[in-house]
Amino acid sequence: MLKITLMLADNGVIKTITDSNHNGAGVKMEWQRVYKLDSDETHEAKLEFIYDLCENLGLDLGNEFSNNTLKFNVDWGNEYNPTVEELEEKVNSMKAEIKLLTQSLKNIK
């Protein structure tokens, strides 16, 4: 049986996975992983922690070939007031995404 334990640390989370019957041989195995989250301004470590935990729990999030995929993304808060540069960057990003979708649509037709 697998047991997943999460412990808070000063700078993040410690995830411990304990397998009481490793390889069906009755051997106890334990793995630990530390996720340093306190200085994670891009949220990459937080997203990695969430994805790893979902994988450990056996949750199906979909994949790159699925039409339904659960994705976690980083965005502004509802009350956040972005700067002009941030708005321009987001507009350019959305224009690029629209261009890719338009090209995909043309390729399908």
pLDDT band at 91 (very low <50, low <70, confident <90, very high): very high
Mean pLDDT within 4-12? 93
Q: Which two tokens stand for residue 107?
A: 């390729």
For the chain, how are helix, strand and coil distributed in percent, rounded to 5? 35, 25, 40
Q: Tens digits of per-residue pLDDT, 9-58?
A: 999 999 999 988 887 878 889 999 999 988 878 788 888 999 999 999 98
Looking at this protein, which amino acid is placed at residue 100?
Answer: L
104 vs 109: CA distance, rounded Å: 9
Q: Which two tokens stand for residue 40?
A: 């994670």
33 vs 26: CA distance, rounded Å: 23
